[in-house]
Chains A and B, each alone.
Chain A
Amino acid sequence: MAHYRVQQWSTFARTWWLFDARWQCPWISARTIIPYLQGTKKPIYHPLSDTGDHVIVINTRLIAMKNERWITFKHIHDSRYRPKGVIEKRAWQIHAEEPTKIFEKAVYYSMDKNLLRRNLMARLHLFPDESVPEDLLKNVSDCIRQPMLAPKRLDEYTEEDRRNFPKLFDWPKDFVLDDGFRTKKQIEFQEP
């Protein structure tokens, strides 16, 4: 019957989701995005049927990592060519070269390791900032909420807010809060 065919089209229609990666941990965001890519959120999900959705991720340049993760975390690529086949790169280094790479790898590694992985990754569209092509953006029909609360930076507070912030005591005027001392390594990493 003709209308059953149309029902099938609407049931299996792919939704386009929008996700904002600003101030988000890439690993935690990956965990929230993957169910949408796989389609496990849908009641019609079946491992043999292709029910995954598209996800557009914006602001991947503005992702956040905790502690010293930008410095300590490294991606290793081994081409099996022995003299210099192993390439190690720190997270900050990769991010400076390609601002979507860290997020892409985080999603790729968090997914189930099977043959579907590449096809699911093809439905993930990553953009370093908010500029998304018009033809992609017009497909978007829903959005995924951020898994983490974005903190408010100090420069986002007004001068008045800063002055009125509750304080138990005032520092003495000659008290030194930051002596400016840095180790050699810290300088090396902070100012590449």
Chain B
Amino acid sequence: MSGRAIPSDFVKSVLQNGAGRYVCQLQRLTFKFCKSSGGSRGTRDYIEKHLIDFSRENPGTAVYIQPRRHHTARVVAEFLNGNTVVKNINCLNPDDIMKWLEHLRTRSGIEIVRLRKSQHTDSPSIQGVWTPWTNKDSSMNISDYTDKKLLEMKRDELTATEKLLELAKNLREKDMKKTT
């Protein structure tokens, strides 16, 4: 499949959730499983042992249990933004189901797609957008670019020849003072 056919989007968050207080976006969980078949055994165990704890810890999430004869076990998660995610939990043990429920609980409900960029902002820069002339010395406006001083290498230290010449000059001055 080509890159254009794969859905893609920018990074989003639901109404800046978590910037002030956090609202769990998972609203409803519906377990659908079979009472007799082996594939639903892990789900049955989970419901018996852990589901009450889960429900107590997350009072904002409604939990429904629907026995469905000879169906594969699955959990349907409904989010605040109206999205629905169906997760197949057939033939999974309670530990794995717990991990998948944690995944659904912490999700924002926004569809999982390829991200075009890892950062996004709704408000443009306050400083102003960068241009080639930001942080440039204003003297550049009137300077002549064919000037040799602008094109030459910038250096802090003197060259060895210049140091030598300076030394010789100092020595000569000293000698002159001695003779006078």
Shortest CB distance A148–B (Å): 6
Shortest CB distance B29–A (Å): 41
Decide yes or no whether A79 CB sits under 8 A from chain B. Answer: no
- CB-CB < 8 A to A150: which residues of B? 152-153
Q: How many angstroms between the C-alpha atoms of A146 and B148 in the bound complex?
A: 10
- CB-CB < 8 A to B129: which residues of A? 7, 10-11
* Residue interface mask A139-157, B partner, CB < 8 A = 1: 0111111111110100000
Shortest CB distance A51–B (Å): 10
A15-B132 contact in complex given A149-B159, A166-B165, C-beta closer than 8 Å: yes
Decide yes or no whether A116 CB sits under 8 A from chain B. Answer: no
CB-based nearest B residue for A15: B132
Q: Is A10 touching B153 in the complex (CB atoms < 8 A)?
A: no
- CB-CB < 8 A to A43: which residues of B? 130
Decide yes or no whether A86 CB sits under 8 A from chain B. Answer: no
Decide yes or no whether A103 CB sits under 8 A from chain B. Answer: no
Shortest CB distance A63–B (Å): 14
Where chain A touches its partner, the secondary structure class is loop
Q: How many angstroms between the C-alpha atoms of A67 and B161 in the bound complex?
A: 20
Q: How many angstroms between the C-alpha atoms of A11 and B134 in the bound complex?
A: 10
Decide yes or no whether A65 CB sits under 8 A from chain B. Answer: no
Q: Which of A121-145 contact B (CB under 8 A)?
A: 130, 137, 140-145
Shortest CB distance B173–A (Å): 13
Shortest CB distance A67–B (Å): 20
Shortest CB distance A37–B (Å): 15
Decide yes or no whether B176 CB sits under 8 A from chain A. Answer: no
Decide yes or no whether B131 CB sits under 8 A from chain A. Answer: yes
Q: How many angstroms between the C-alpha atoms of A146 and B136 in the bound complex?
A: 19
Other-chain contact of B152, A13, A145, A166 (Cβ < 8 Å): A145
CB-based nearest B residue for A20: B151
Q: Is A19 touching B151 in the complex (CB atoms < 8 A)?
A: yes
Most buried by A among B130, B151, B154: B151
Shortest CB distance A14–B (Å): 8
A10-B131 contact in complex given A142-B145, A145-B153, C-beta closer than 8 Å: yes
What are the 6 tightest A-B residue pairs by CB atom distance, in nearest-first order?
A: A166-B168, A20-B151, A10-B131, A146-B153, A15-B132, A143-B145
Q: A20-B151, A43-B130 are in contact. List 14 more A-B contacts (CB 8 A).
A: A10-B132, A10-B133, A18-B151, A19-B151, A20-B152, A42-B132, A140-B145, A143-B145, A143-B150, A143-B151, A149-B155, A165-B165, A166-B164, A166-B168
Interface residues of A (CB under 8 A from B): 7, 10-11, 13, 15, 18-20, 42-44, 130, 137, 140-150, 152, 164-166
Interface residues of B (CB under 8 A from A): 129-133, 136, 140, 145-146, 148, 150-155, 159, 161, 164-165, 167-168
